[in-house]
Structure 1
Amino acid sequence: MELGIAKWEVCLRVIAILFLVSTACLVAFDTQTKVIFLTYSKKATYKDLDALKILVYVTSTAAGYNLLQLCKHTFSALPSISNFKSSYYMYIAWITFLLDQITVYLTFTANSAAFQAAIFALNGSEAFQWMKICNKFTRFCEQIGVAFLCGYIASLLMAVFSTISAYKVLRMYSSKRFMRLKGK
């Protein structure tokens, strides 16, 4: 059962990395230029909205973290590390669990904040005198929408393997172990 869970976790991490990289690339490389008046043109990029810049940074960092976790899985499978694994497994499991939780929450939060900012770009806001930008840059806005979809899928996948991390931590605290500690 342990091997099956590890295989699922590796598979989910690879898929999440693909979605995270897709999100970062779709947002970072999305540009559209429109001619506003004769020779005056306006170029829409992710740098125009701070929330999109933060989304690129967060998703790139989350993809890097998950890649490091894949490397950890690769090295923990080596037989020479088995002594190290048994003595520090509890600490590594807790650190992995906490970092997985942080990564999930940061990715979901950055995606939601960028989505909210994109809604303002889509609808505008008369109170702030903001124009509807997506009327002029439709391809840009559609590609950003696909990036949000990829980001939310990656967040859901990371939530699943964060649950696997929680399982790995909590299974170390079985009822038999607590009964032994209570009796001493």
Structure 2
Amino acid sequence: MDLGMEMARTEISLRISAILVLVLTACVVAFDTQTKAIIFTIEKKASYRDLYALKILVYVTSAAAGYNLLQLCKYPALAYFGGIFKGSYMIVAWISLLLDQIMVYVTFAANSATFEAAMLGVTGAEALQWMKVCNKFTRFCIQIGGALLCCFAASILMAIMASVSAYKLFRMYSPNWFLRLKTK
């Protein structure tokens, strides 16, 4: 089996794994709610809509999962159009590398910002008179914490994918000259 086929299989398995973890993250955050009775008939419901960072995390993880699903479609498209457009492999490799990098950074940034906002829910901030929310909504906070761990795992998977994309792109260039295409 040649190296190109092995790299393609690795990338496909990484993308499918990342899609599953990203969808899991989006679903856990979006469907996580908990209701508590504050005073006799007054109830407070905690959901992802209460914290703007959680909304952004749902949107970003959904977009990242959709992007990885679209990236899985490039293999049949390259097989079909590869003979028609010479050099299309090079263009697709550059675009894939750049978009993979963007998705890794955006997903990691959104998850880190959500983690920071969630820590305020855990610890509170006496100087700002913000109380600890996780004392009252324990199950909600534990599930959000699990979703954040899943999103960090997805970020790691996507960073590995970006490394694979970089390797696939730069192996097309000659080692003797910087960014000079290999001759056949």
TM-score range, shorter chain: over 0.9
Q: How far off its partner does 1:21 sit?
A: 0.3
Residue 84 of structure 1, CA deviation = 3.6
Deviation at 1:86, TM superposition (A): 3.8
Q: Does the C-alpha gap of structure 1 residues 159 and 38 become closer, same or farther in structure 2, counting only changes over 3 Å?
A: same
User: Once the two structures are superposed, what CA deviation does each residue of 1:12-39 show, in whole Å capped at 9, x if it has no partner?
Assistant: 0000000000000000010000000010
Return the alpha-carbon distance in structure 2 between the equivalents of residues 179 and 66 of structure 1: 27
- Cα root mean square deviation, aligned: 1.7
**AA in 1 matched with 2:45:** K
Q: Could you tell me how far apart the structure 2 residues matched to 1:100 and 1:156 are?
A: 12
Within a 5 Å distance, the mapping from 1:19-168 to structure 2 comes to: 19-76=21-78, 78=79, 80-84=80-84, 86-168=86-168
* Greater fraction helix: 1
**Number of residues of Structure 1 aligned to a counterpart in Structure 2:** 179
Alignment partners' CA distance in 2, 1:103 and 1:172: 23
Q: TM-score, normalised by structure 1?
A: 0.92
Provide Cα deviations, 1:41-86, integer angstroms capped at 9, x if missing partner: 000000111111100000000000000001112332x3x4231464
- With normalisation by structure 2, the TM-score equals 0.92
Q: Secondary structure at 1:83's aligned position in 2?
A: coil
Kindly indicate whether the alpha-carbon contact (under 8 Å) linking 2:29 and 2:48 is maintained by their aligned counterparts in 1: yes
Contact 2:97 2:162 in 1 (8 A): yes
Q: Which runs of no fewer than 5 residues in structure 1 stay unpaired?
A: none
Letter in 2 for 1:158: M
Q: Aligned residue for 2:170? A: 170
SS of the counterpart of 1:175?
coil
**2:8 aligned with 1:6:** yes
- CA distances 1:134-166 after superposition (whole Å, capped 9, x unpaired): 000000000001100110000000000100111
Which residues of structure 2 form unaligned runs of 5+?
A: none
CA distance in 1, matches of 2:64, 2:149: 16
What is the match of residue 16 of structure 1? 18
